[in-house]
Amino acid sequence: MLIKILLLISTLILFPSQTFGENRASLVKENQLLREEWSLAKKPNLYVVFHLKEKRIQIKAKGISLREFPIHHVDFWGNNVPDQALALVKKSALVKPSRKTVRPGDMKESEDFTLDVLEIGDMPARYTLVLDNRVFISIRPSEGVTSKFGNTLSSLEDFLVRPAVTFWYAVRGKQYTALDLGLEKQDAKALYWSFTEGAKCIVYPQ
């Protein structure tokens, strides 16, 4: 009995009550997100799960993982991500994929007509997923010379713009979260292709 008491006292000394409180809050948040994901799994729609701690992204339907992408790096600014399912409001890219517009009368009868269908290869590899509740997830390719140049420019943006925007929303007392995720180029394109506007996602914190 005495040994158990001594062990308990040692535990309380080594792990103060604040740590227990933080762990409890983390568990509560994770349980809430699990309930949110369970709610999405009961529907037929595709949804996306970002596991920041495990550094992976899953595209899922009815609780089944259809595809998975590794995350090479994670950068974070602002508030914690809300513990609820978030809808994709829009995908913002410098160059958006587009089909060739064919107007009536532009083609001659003798010309062959090929259906212009967008494929995964046509998707951008660098873009921002704008979620509701002011959550922004920027996707960056993490390979290639061009990607390194683009990431250098993004790093300058992070150094100058991100802190200012984060401070601005903090002063106004409004929710703002920005995430930068590094993916392989083809994975970034596949995510853009799969994650449609209006679809839901779950973001598990680091």
The predicted-structure confidence for 147-202, as pLDDT tens digits, reads as follows 554 555 555 555 567 777 777 777 777 889 999 999 999 999 999 999 999 999 99
- Kindly list the structural domains of the chain, giving each domain's residue range(s) and its CATH number in brackets, ordered by start: 30-204 (2.40.440.10)
Higher pLDDT pick, 108 / 78: 78
Segment 69-88, tens digit of pLDDT:
999 999 999 989 999 999 99
Q: Is 30 left (phi over 0), alpha (psi -120 to 50) or beta?
A: alpha
3-state DSSP helix/strand/coil % of the chain, to nearest 5: 40, 25, 35
pTM of the model: 0.74
**Residue 29 reports pLDDT greater than 90:** no
Give the pLDDT score at 156: 56
